[in-house]
Copies of this chain bind each other. A is one copy, B any other.
Amino acid sequence: MKRRDFGQYCGLARALELVGERWALLIIRDLAGRPQRYTDLFEGLPGIPTNMLSTRLKELEQAGLVERRIAPAPQRGVLYDLTPAGHSLEPAIIALGRWGAGLLDAKPRPGDVLPPASVTMTLRAVFDAEAAAGLTATWEIHAADMVLYAAVTDGRLEAGVGPAPVDPDLVITFEPEPDDLPSYRSLIRAIKCGLVKVEGRRTLLDTFLRVFAPPQDAQVETSRTPPMGATADGTV
C-alpha cells in the first residue's frame, strides 16, 4: 500500500495524494451525508468494484479521514463515518461540486443514478447565505424514495440525508415522472411549476426558492435555452 507522491511541497499536491485517486472523493461525499455501511456505499457508487471500495476505505482510514466502527444494537454491522479531518474537506467538495454542476448536461445520461448525498451537496453548494441571513426554518424533502432535509438556523445551513432531526416546518413531496431522476434541477423546476405537494407552513416554499435557487437557475428555466450549449461553456 505504498502511495505515489507528486514530489511537491504544496497543499494541492498533498490533497491529491490523499484523496485524488479514483472514487475517493465520491466515497467521502457519500459519507458526508451520514455514516454508511459498506453495502450502502456500494449501492450508491454504481460500477465500483468491491475490492476497490474496500481498498479505498482502508486508505482513507489510514489517512485519518474515515473511521470504521461497529454499529450499535439495532442494525449491527460495520459503519463508516468521517473523522473531523474528513469533514473538513466539505468546503473543497462543495466548491468542486459547484463547478461541475455548471458543466452538467441539462438531462442525465441514460443509466445515471442520483446519489442522495449528491443532492444535499448541491443544496449546500447553491445555498445563498446572504439571502438566508437571520432565517430559521427546516424543510424536509421527499423525492421518489429519497428523503432529505435542510435546516437553516439563524442563517446557517445544515443539510443531510434522511428525515429532519427536528420536526420540519414544511414537508415538500415531489413525485417525478417514472424513470425520471429526482435531481436538484427537476425539483426546483417542479416547485416553480407547482407540481409538488406541501405540508406545513406553505409560505416557506417561496423562501426555499429564494434561498436555494440562485438567479441563473431561474434564467435557465425561463429562457428555454437550447439543450446542448446552455451550461456547457463554464459560465457558472
A40-80 interface mask toward B, CB cutoff 8 Å, 1 = contact, 0 = none?
00000111000000000000000011000000000000000
In angstroms, Cα B134 to Cα A128, docked, is: 24
State the Cβ distance, A150 to closest chain B Cβ, in Å.
17
- Contact (A115, B46) CB under 8 Å given A14-B100, A15-B96, A234-B84: no
Whether A22 is near chain B, meaning CB under 8 Å from some CB there, is yes
Whether A122 is near chain B, meaning CB under 8 Å from some CB there, is yes
Within the oligomer, what is the number of copies of this chain? 2
User: A47: which B residues are within 8 A, CB to CB?
Assistant: 6-7
Whether A112 is near chain B, meaning CB under 8 Å from some CB there, is yes
State the Cβ distance, A85 to closest chain B Cβ, in Å.
2
Whether A98 is near chain B, meaning CB under 8 Å from some CB there, is yes
State the Cβ distance, A28 to closest chain B Cβ, in Å.
10
Whether A97 is near chain B, meaning CB under 8 Å from some CB there, is yes
Number of A residues with CB within 8 Å of any CB on chain B:
61
Question: Judging by beta carbons under 8 Å apart, are A8 and B112 in contact?
Answer: yes
Whether A225 is near chain B, meaning CB under 8 Å from some CB there, is no
Whether A165 is near chain B, meaning CB under 8 Å from some CB there, is no
Question: Judging by beta carbons under 8 Å apart, are B64 and A15 in contact?
Answer: no
State the Cβ distance, A175 to closest chain B Cβ, in Å.
18
Closest B residue to A236 using CB positions = B88
User: A15: which B residues are within 8 A, CB to CB?
Assistant: 96-97, 99-100, 103
10 CB-based A-B contacts, threshold 8 Å: A6-B26, A8-B46, A11-B100, A12-B26, A12-B29, A14-B103, A83-B234, A88-B102, A92-B99, A96-B96
